Structure 1
């Protein structure tokens, strides 16, 4: 398999504990073994199934000029694994902050600031011709300056582009944040990201994931996707948000994607025109290393431990049309059934256990 042409100076690094595991890759803490003790995240997958990683690196390289998007530092291939090096955020995601904060929701000025930053990132992403396809609080990471960056471009794709169907998932996203058109018609365009922004903002100010406040809500992914894609219900607008905030959410959560506002339009909405509060100073978190050859990190630095801790409706799903006998069907109900299945994709096979991954790598 050909790899990307990313080059960088030679650097030794050490793999620490696993901090996340998705459908196609495992994320570990890592530390540069060059005297700097620089900490970053290593997202790894077997070379034979690493296509999504080098696609993600290529996309991040194209988006590197945007300060509100996670930084990528290149990659290495150690013979068995493709390792993508990414910026590490000790403070974790907005999902972590919301669940672990003293309150059960963010104050409106804070939610407004985060939403503005996410839209600035998406404005850049969409202008470059991409769709993120998995905007959610777990993929919005907190910076030391009190602002946020969006991360995890593993499901991102070109808007209105024709890509290799064997390499790009035909059905993908996180059910609870998916837009009606992406569920019902498999449309992955910029309006899908805007719908997800509305879901994320509603969750920030209410403390509840989208759809959870609806009567009869359950964690049945099949039922949820049928309601999103083929029902006539709307995401609940939180009562505790201001009137400009309610109007902003209605512009994001229009079922017709043609009537949904764009990132450019939303950045000029009165809700985001409010004065931005000064970010609260945050103590800088410095990782501490053990002396035992620095083969592991002393602690996990309050980072998210695993996407497997989330419910099925909050976990990203990605199914290739070649990976299921049902994916070629044209029935909307069949497509939903494929998306809702809990069966693990074939391309996860062959992954190695974590204990075999703690070793020194040389970046070529």
Structure 2
């Protein structure tokens, strides 16, 4: 597809996201329906992975569409570009932030959760795990449709454990990911629970002072995120099914779609998911992964991985300098 790069929406150390206008539509007065995600060819593995995964998941209305890829030479640099569907209403994180009291109504939470569960069910059915479900990666289109975006960290289910590598965003990580590097479909469900809790309260599911404390709380003991009392009994029970520590007992996307909190929403009041107004920043946050730790940068423990405890694993993870874990990393510049 022949296209013209438009306004830059976001920029980071690995690349940038821009509006993209098909050349056949002309430039003046065009309304782009795409964004282009670009990075240098020296660091394009994550973006190529995202394109490959989206190609396999094509056809799911809750997954962002990919329109193709190409290479370009710009300002003396060779870039790898992936063309993606433009979610003009931005991220669900922006909607929560700009909502009254910085949280959503339960009716809205049910609607968004149902769409996310349909998308996750489709992703898991095709043998993939998203690995980075969070409000920043849940996108809203002009017609109110919900889309799951940013598949740069997605992987096939059933692969090798990650050892001391961490993949995803810490405050959304599941206990099994922190403890043993296990990241299957159940880890996406835990992250969904964190997203639902954040929609209900306007604050992250975990309160913590530093990353080491956060990982210990997630990985050691029986503590789970607080289930907010302002949710209905069904809503609190729904979160309880997402926050089961044992991934083998945690409910699946298919099971949760039949939970009364989701399946009963048609019997109550309904609201339109169409955003009343665009978020202050109209960017579609197809961000590159915030970070992925390099296994080689962490000293291996002197015994087989299967023999050391969760506490040993956590010490191995947090005792070395880590990438920036913040959701609001200064490495990204939002352009308005």
Normalising by the smaller structure, the TM-score range is 0.7 to 0.9
Quick check: 1:14 aligned with 2:5? yes
2:223 maps to which of 224, 233, 236: 233
1:72 maps to which of 62, 66, 69: 66
1:43 maps to which of 28, 37, 43: 37
Residue 256 (structure 1) aligns with: 246
Residue 357 (structure 1) aligns with: none
Quick check: 1:205 aligned with 2:200? yes
Give, in whole Å, the separation in 1 of the partners of 2:145 and 2:168: 25
Quick check: 1:279 aligned with 2:279? no
Shift of 1:318: 0.7
Shift of 1:307: 7.0
1:318 maps to which of 272, 275, 292: 292
Residue 84 (structure 2) aligns with: 86
Unaligned runs of 5+ in 1: 1-8, 286-299, 309-314, 345-350, 355-364
Give, in whole Å, the separation in 1 of the partners of 2:320 and 2:23: 42
Q: In 2 relative to 1, CA 118–162 (structure 1 residues): closer, same or farther, beyond 3 Å?
A: same
Give, in whole Å, the separation in 2 of the partners of 1:318 and 1:254: 25
Higher RCO (CA-CA < 8 Å; seq separation 6+): 1
Residue 283 (structure 2) aligns with: 303
Q: In 2 relative to 1, CA 140–224 (structure 1 residues): closer, same or farther, beyond 3 Å?
A: same
Give, in whole Å, the separation in 2 of the partners of 1:106 and 1:340: 36
Q: What SS class does the counterpart of residue 237 from structure 2 fall into?
A: helix
Q: What SS class does the counterpart of residue 25 from structure 2 fall into?
A: coil
Q: In 2 relative to 1, CA 159–102 (structure 1 residues): closer, same or farther, beyond 3 Å?
A: same
Shift of 1:320: 2.6
Give, in whole Å, the separation in 2 of the partners of 1:145 and 1:61: 23
- Map Cα deviations across residues 109-142 of structure 1 (whole Å, 9 max, x no partner): 1000000000000000000000000001001011
Q: What SS class does the counterpart of residue 75 from structure 1 fall into?
A: strand
Matching of residues 163-182 of structure 1 within 5 Å: 170-182=165-177
Matching of residues 140-179 of structure 1 within 5 Å: 140-161=138-159, 170-179=165-174
Give, in whole Å, the separation in 2 of the partners of 1:202 and 1:33: 43
Q: What SS class does the counterpart of residue 83 from structure 2 fall into?
A: strand
- Map Cα deviations across residues 301-357 of structure 1 (whole Å, 9 max, x no partner): 53368979xxxxxx84312324x153677540344227871369xxxxxx9x99xxx
Shift of 1:18: 3.5
Shift of 1:58: 0.6
Q: In 2 relative to 1, CA 29–334 (structure 1 residues): closer, same or farther, beyond 3 Å?
A: farther
How many residue pairs get aligned? The number is 309
Shift of 1:28: 2.2
- TM-score normalised according to structure 2 size: 0.82
State whether residues 226 and 336 of structure 1, in contact with CA within 8 Å, keep that contact through their aligned partners in structure 2. no
2:313 maps to which of 307, 328, 332: 332
